Amino acid sequence: MKRIFLFFLLLSGASVFAQSGYEIKVTFKPFKNQYIYLGHYFGKTYPIIDSVLLNNKSEGVFKGPKKLNGGIYLIGYPGRNGFFEILVDKQQHFSVMADTATIKDGAKFINSQDNVAFTAYQQYTNKLGREIAALQKKLKTAANKKDSTVIENKITANDKAINAYREAIIKKKDGSLLYTLLNAMQEPVLTGRLKNPQNKKDSIDSYNFYKANYWKGVNFWDSRLAYTPFFEDKIEKYFNQLVPLNPDSVIKEMDYMLGYASVNEEMNRFMLLHFVNKYLSQRFMWEDAVFVHLFEKYFANKQYTWLNDKGRKIITDRAYSLMANITGTPAADIELPNTKGDTTSLYKTVAAHTVVVFWDPTCGHCKETLPKIDSIYQAKWKAEGVKIFAVAKETDGTKNDWFNFIKDHHLEDWINVYYSKAAEKARTDNNIPGYSQLYDVLSFPTLYLLDLDKKIVAKKLSYDQLDEILDLKTKGQ
């Protein structure tokens, strides 16, 4: 009896071991003795994780000792000139049979209920979708209103059939990958006055309902969503269209998502990379505060196996460049020699508003732009109590280039200081951030607008954009 029991345990152990990792058997006609590839979606990228050489029967096996993260995977053609999609989730030992001649109708699967359901869904929606496309084409040449109505009713019927099929899967709430994908793809349905708002209250209620239900049923710890082509776009839409455009609102939403994502390493990686890439280069001035918060809370004192030294340095350097010049905070003081050789301080410049201009006397764009800045300064800004603090950064030129430019373009009304290579080196050699870093100067000219207390009002805008902001300030807005 003991022997039988032990033998049963050995068999059970062998069975469990056999089902470890992943094993996807592929028959992919007509390809023979050629490599095919296994990859997956990850935001906007398509990493390849495995490859296999098909034999002369068009057969091959993708196999590995570690289970794959659930999601939508791609089986790539030889030469990587095409692919078709499969689902990978709990069942990771199954067979796929595909043929390029019939691939548009889907592949065939053995031992993968997820893919059988996925293929059935694709076949059904594709069939009705092709019918809708044909009907829409036919509608354009309809002979009369009666014919148009008949065609439109058929289109509506097909749309309803597709939605009903999708809703039937979602209502099961079985936790399957197909359910999770379809549930995450759907958007809140507006009806009645929310769909057709008649007044301000209707519009506000419509927005609030849509935003409150946008993530209904979506779990931010479910890493299967990271391996899809649509989830990153859904996040982008939410932040671009539904979250108020200010740092406090964005940070609150971001922290909420990352709080849940942090329990799953793969989802945490996906979300962090998304937000880093989104806010690394700012579209709006206030996004600097978002990136600094992202660095301080999620990167400054944390290590990730997926982040190499180069990536960490890029994030760290960018954060340090932004920390000293966050919109709404005091700008760093600048102390440099003026045209007479005397040290001049930005903070000793008394003005209702100060425009700080970082420029290069040898820069072609600066030669074109600075005279235009002076024209608007002479025409408007000077009378409004604005002063210009111009920092000439030495690059390939000399001090003579600086002197000559000021003289030739009559910029004597400006407060002109010179930032030499030697001055920059003296600061960095003593572990003091250079002014280029403190003001995040990546190109010339770079413009900042400071208020009376030298707080940053606006930065990295064109002179005409600064003019618009100054107009609002002078009008008390």
Amino acid at 476: G
Q: Which of 19, 113, 114 is nearest to 67 (CA)?
A: 19
Beta bridge partners of 449: 355, 458
CA distance 38 to 434: 48
CA distance 355 to 352: 10
65 three-state secondary structure = coil
CA distance 437 to 68: 43
* Residue 433 CA neighbour count, 13 Å, CB half: 17
Helix pair 247-261, 287-298: axis angle to 10 deg: 30
Reading the chain (477 residues) residue by residue, the pLDDT tens digits are: 333 333 333 333 434 444 689 999 999 999 999 999 999 999 889 999 999 999 999 999 999 999 999 999 999 999 888 999 999 999 999 999 999 999 988 899 999 999 999 999 999 999 999 999 999 999 888 888 888 999 999 999 999 999 999 999 999 888 899 999 999 999 999 999 999 999 999 999 999 999 999 999 999 999 999 999 999 999 999 999 999 999 999 999 999 999 999 999 999 999 999 999 999 988 888 999 999 999 999 999 999 999 999 999 999 999 988 998 899 999 999 999 999 999 999 999 999 999 999 999 999 999 999 999 999 999 999 999 999 999 999 988 789 999 999 999 999 999 999 999 999 999 999 999 999 999 999 899 999 999 999 999 999 989 999 999 998 887 765
Q: How is 241-310 classified by DSSP, letter by letter?
A: IIS-SSHHHHHHHHHHHHHHHTTSHHHHHHHHHHHHHHHSS-SSTTHHHHHHHHHHHHTTT---TT--HH
- Residue 21: which residues within 8 A CB-CB, separation 6 or more? 63, 64, 65, 66, 67, 92
CA distance 461 to 125: 48
CA distance 188 to 214: 6
- CA quadruple 286, 291, 297, 299: dihedral, nearest 10: -170
CA distances 376 to 43, 461, 462, Å, are 45, 15, 12
84 three-state secondary structure = strand
CA distance 346 to 415: 9
Cα torsion 56, 58, 61, 62: sign:
positive
CA distance 322 to 345: 22
Helix pair 145-172, 113-139: axis angle to 10 deg: 170
Beta bridge partners of 42: 45
- Cα Rg of the chain, angstroms: 31
* The pLDDT value given to residue 9: 33
Assign 3-class secondary structure to 414-468: CEEEEECHHHHHHHHHCCCCCHHHHCCCCCCCEEEEECCCCEEEEECCCHHHHHH
Specify the DSSP class assigned to residue 240: I
36 three-state secondary structure = strand
57 three-state secondary structure = coil
CA distance 421 to 397: 11
Residue in this structure with the two tokens 């998502």, named with its chain if needed: 257
CA distances 422 to 336, 394, 416, 445, Å, are 12, 9, 18, 21
Question: Are 240 and 85 a contacting pair, CB within 8 Å?
Answer: no
Q: How is 165-226 classified by DSSP, letter by letter?
A: HHHHHHHH----HHHHHHHHH--PPP-HHHHS--SHHHHHHHHHHHHHHTTTT--TT-GGGG
CA distance 448 to 471: 16
